[in-house]
Chain A
Amino acid sequence: MSEWTEIVDYFRGRSMWMLHYCTGCGAIELPPTMTSRWDMERFGITPMATPRQADILLITGYLAIKTLKRVIYTYEQMQPPKWVLGFGSCTINGGIYWDSYNVIERLDKYIPVDIYIAGCMPRPEAILDSFVKLKEMVQNGEAKGYEKYVKNYEWYKANQDKVLKRTKPVLERIEKVTKIG
C-alpha cells in the first residue's frame, strides 16, 4: 500500500492547481510568475477558478478580518489534499500592518499554512522556490496541513471565532437590501 501512496504522492506533486486569493499588494508578483518570464506552468502548476478544483490556496499578503472570514470559507470548500502557501511578511507576523486594528497577524493561527514565503514583497523566484519546496514536501508525504486542521479543529475554530466576532455583517438589515421583486 505504501508504494501506491508514494505513486499517488509523486503525481500529486507534479500536478498542483492553484487558487490565488489576491487581496494583498503581493498579487502583482503573480502575473510575471504565471507568464513568459518565469512560467510556473512548467512545474505543472496552473491557476484555477474555484476552490473545488484547486489544490493550493495561495494567500498573497495581509488579511483583514473580513477577508479572513472568506478565506476560511474558501479553504473549507476545498477538498483534500490541499495546501496553503502564505505569501509575504504580512501572513507571517503582520508585516507593516503589525499594529493594525483589523488585520490578522499570523495566518497559521486560523488555517494551517504549509509554507511561508518571507519578503515584502517576495520576488517571483521566491514563489517558484516555494512551489518546488512544496512539491518535494508533497512527494515525501510531509505536507499534511489539511490533516492537522481536521485534528486540531477546536483550536483553529476557537482562534477564528475570537477574531471573527469582531466583524459585523457587510450589510446591515440584509433582508431589506437583498429583497427580491
Chain B
Amino acid sequence: MSSLLALLLVPVTGSIVAAIIQRYRLAERLVSFSTFVVTLLFLIDIRVGDAFTWSLGFLGKNIEMGLQITPLSIFMLYMTIAFGVLLTFFDLTERSKMKSFLLLLTLAASNWIFMATDFLSFFFAWELMGWASILAIFGGRRTAESRHGALYYAMMSIGGSYSMLIGIFLLSNLTGSFSIQQNVSYLVSIMTVHPWWVLGIVSMFFVAFMVKSGIFPFHTWVPYTYGESPDGFVPYLSSVMSKYGIYGFLIFLPLTLSLRNVPGVLGLPWPNYTLVWFGSITAVVGSVLAFMQDDVKKLFAYSSFSNLGFILAAIALFTPIGLTAGLFHAFNHLLFNGAIFITVVAVISKVGITRMSEMGGLWQKMPLTFLTFFVGIASAAGIPPFAGFGSKWMIFQAMISHGLIFATVLLFFASIASFLYLMRAFHAIFLGQLSHKYDNVKEISAIGKITEVFLIGALIFFGIFPGFILDPINSIVGSFGLKPLPTSGYEYINGFFSSVNMVSIFIVVIVAFIFGFLLFAVSAKHKKVPQEDNYTAGQIPKDWNLTPEMYQFSYDFYEPMDKEIAPFLKIKIDGFFKGFGDSVEYLGSSIKEIFTGNVQIYTYLAIGGLVIFVIAGWIVW
C-alpha cells in the first residue's frame, strides 16, 4: 500500500527540505507544518488492516519486514499527527530554537514504530526516534544545561535500547523470526512452561518502554530533560512521545490474558499487579515532586509522567474497563497536556523566564492564554464537563472493581496532589499581583490565539461527547480479544459501576451558570479597583514602598507540607543515575571538545554510531 509508505516518506522528505532551508525560519516552519498536514491527509484514507511487506537481504539472510495497521496503531497515528499539526501551526510564529527537521524525523520514526510488524524495524525506528529527539533537545534556552539534559536522556535511552536489543535477539534466537506477532504468540505458548523465561525477556523490553514513558524508577531524566529542552519541543515531548512507551506495553500485555486462570493477587495475574504498582507509584512520585517545583517546565514534566503512571496503572489491569480508561486517559492527557504546555510556552516566550515565583498576575495581560490554561488544568484535575474527567473516573472504577485498595488510595492521593500543583502553577503564573516588569507584556499572536481557541473547543467537545473517542478505543479493546464496554450514544461514558451522561451535566452546569450570572447582575453594584487597592491591614502601600512583587505569595507555596513529605523525599532514586550521569557528563564534555557543538555533526555522528551499533549486534549474533 503506497499510502503506508507515504506516512514514512513524506516526513522524511519534509525533514530533508527543512534541513536544507533551516536558515529561513518562516519557510522552515511552513515546511514542517505542511508536512504534518500532508501526512494527516495521507492518514485519512488508511484503514485498519492495510499492510505492506518487503524483505531485506542481509549477510545472506532474508528478513521479512513489514508495515501493518491495527486499531491501536491508527489511534496512535491520529493522536501523534493531529497533535503535530496543531503544534507546528502554533509554532509558526514562535521563535524557539527548535529544529523542525528533527521534529519531522521524529514523526517519521514514530509512524514507523506504530506500523512496524517486526522487531527489527521497530527497533530501528525506536532508535531513530530516540536520537532525533535527543538532538532536538540540544537547542534549549540555556546551552550548557540543555546539553546536560539531552545527555541524561540519551544515557537513559541507550540503556533502555540495549535492554530492548538484547530482548529482541534473545527472542529471535528462540523463534528464528523477527515478526512481532510470531514472537508474541511464541511467548504465549511457553508462558505456562517457562514463566520466568517469559518474564525475563519481556522485562528486557519493558525497561525501554518505562524509560521512554518515564515510569518509576526511570523517571529521573524527565524533569531535567523537559526543563532544558527547546520551548517549542516540550509539548511534543510530553504529550506525544511519552505515549510510545504505552504503545510498547500494549504489545506485550496481551500475554497476561493466558494467566487469567492462574491464581494471582485479588484475581489479577501478578505481572499485572506489579505493573499496576509501578504505575501508581509513578503517579504519586510525580505529583508529590511536582508541587515542590518552582520551575514551570519542570513542574509540568513531573505532572506529565505522573499522568503516565495513571495510564500505566489502568492499562496494566488489562480488563476492558482498565484498557479503555488507560487509552482514554492517554488521549485526554494529549489534549490537556498540550493545552497546558502550549500556554506555558506562550507565557515563557513573553516573560522570558521559567521561574514561577517571579511571574504572577498575567491574567490581566494574556486573557485568552489564561482561559486556555484554566480549561487545561480543569481537565487535568478531572473536572466535569471537560475532557479528563471521564478517563480519571473510569480509571478509579477500574481500580476499585479489582479491590486494589492501596493502589486506589495512592492514585486518589496523586489526583488530589495534582490538584495542588495545578493550583500552585495557576496562581503563581496567572493570578496574584502583576509585577511592573510585565507592564508591556502582550497577548500572543493571532495564530497562537487560534490554536488556543481550538484547544479550548477540543477540551470541551471531547468532554461532552466522549463517545467520539470511546468508539475507536472500543475497537482497540476488541482487537485485543476483550469484550468492549457497552456504548449508548456519543454523550455517555459507561463505567463499571455507573454511567454518566455528559450532555446532561453540561446543560445543568450551563443553566446553573446562567442563574449565577443573573444573581451577579441583580445584586448590588461593585466598584472596580486596581490591584494596588488591596487589604494591607491599614498600612498605606506607598509609605512602605510596597511593590507588587513583595505582595505576591507564591514562593514555597506549600511550605508546611514539606515537613510531612520530607522523609519520603530523602529516598533519592536518582542518586544511582547521578553517579552514572557524572561519568556521562565527563564523556559529554570530552565530546564537546572534539566538536564545536554543531547539531549537524551530532546527527551524522549519531546515525553513524547507530549503524555501527546495529551491525555489531548482528555480527555478534
Contact = CB atoms under 8 A, between A and B. Distances in A.
B543 interface: yes
21 contacts: A50-B535, A51-B535, A69-B540, A70-B538, A70-B539, A70-B540, A71-B538, A73-B540, A77-B533, A79-B527, A170-B543, A171-B543, A171-B544, A171-B545, A174-B543, A175-B545, A178-B545, A178-B546, A178-B550, A180-B547, A180-B549
B437 to A, nearest CB: 12
A170 B544 contact: yes
Nearest to B536: A73
Interface residues of B, number: 13
Nearest to A23: B538
Interface in A139-181: 169-171, 174-175, 177-178, 180
A169 B550 CA distance: 19
Contacts, number: 34
Contact of B544 (A21, A52, A174): A174
A93 interface: no
Interface string A52-76: 1000000000000000011101100
A51 B547 CA distance: 21
Contacts of A71: 538
A125 B546 CA distance: 41
A21 B537 CA distance: 11
Interface string A84-121: 00000000000000000000000000000000000000
Contacts of B539: 70, 73
Contacts of A50: 535
A74 B538 contact: yes
A73 B540 CA distance: 7
A178 B543 CA distance: 11
Interface in A24-83: 50-52, 69-71, 73-74, 77, 79
Contacts of A170: 543-544
A55 B59 CA distance: 91
A27 B547 CA distance: 32
Contacts of A77: 533, 535
Contacts of A171: 543-545
A169 B543 contact: yes
A178 B544 contact: yes
A180 B538 CA distance: 22
Contacts of A51: 535
A110 to B, nearest CB: 15
Which of B535, B538, B540: most chain A CB closer than 10 A? Answer: B538
A79 B526 CA distance: 9
Interface of B: 527, 533, 535, 538-540, 543-547, 549-550
A94 to B, nearest CB: 22
A27 B233 CA distance: 62
A73 B538 contact: yes
A69 B546 CA distance: 17
**Which 6 A-B residue pairs are closest in the complex by CB-CB distance?**
A70-B538, A174-B545, A178-B545, A50-B535, A74-B538, A169-B543
Nearest to A53: B535
B423 to A, nearest CB: 23
A160 to B, nearest CB: 13
B358 to A, nearest CB: 11
A1 to B, nearest CB: 15
Nearest to A19: B538
A70 B543 CA distance: 11
Nearest to A50: B535
A104 B134 CA distance: 72
A178 to B, nearest CB: 5
Contact of A52 (B535, B545, B550): B535
Contacts of B535: 50-52, 77
A23 B283 CA distance: 53
A123 B181 CA distance: 92
A77 B547 CA distance: 19
Nearest to A79: B527
A74 B539 CA distance: 9
Contacts of A180: 547, 549-550
A50 B537 CA distance: 8
Nearest to B546: A178
Nearest to A70: B538
Contacts of A69: 540
Nearest to A49: B535
A178 B547 CA distance: 10
Contacts of B540: 69-70, 73
A171 B546 CA distance: 12
Nearest to A76: B533
B413 to A, nearest CB: 33
Contacts of A52: 535
B201 to A, nearest CB: 57
B97 to A, nearest CB: 30
A31 to B, nearest CB: 20
A70 B541 CA distance: 11
Nearest to A67: B538
Contacts of A174: 543-545
Contacts of B543: 169-171, 174
Which of B533, B535, B545: most chain A CB closer than 10 A? Answer: B545
A50 B539 CA distance: 12
A69 B527 CA distance: 23
Nearest to B540: A73
Given A71-B538, A174-B544, 17 more contacts: A69-B540, A70-B538, A73-B540, A77-B533, A77-B535, A79-B527, A169-B543, A170-B543, A171-B544, A174-B545, A175-B545, A177-B545, A178-B545, A178-B546, A178-B550, A180-B547, A180-B550
B368 to A, nearest CB: 29
A50 B538 CA distance: 9
Nearest to A168: B543
Nearest to B547: A180
A169 B535 CA distance: 19
A177 B527 CA distance: 34
Nearest to B529: A77
A74 B535 CA distance: 9
B564 to A, nearest CB: 28
Contacts of B550: 178, 180
B162 to A, nearest CB: 47
Contacts of B533: 77
A168 to B, nearest CB: 10
Nearest to A81: B524
Nearest to B539: A70
Nearest to A175: B545
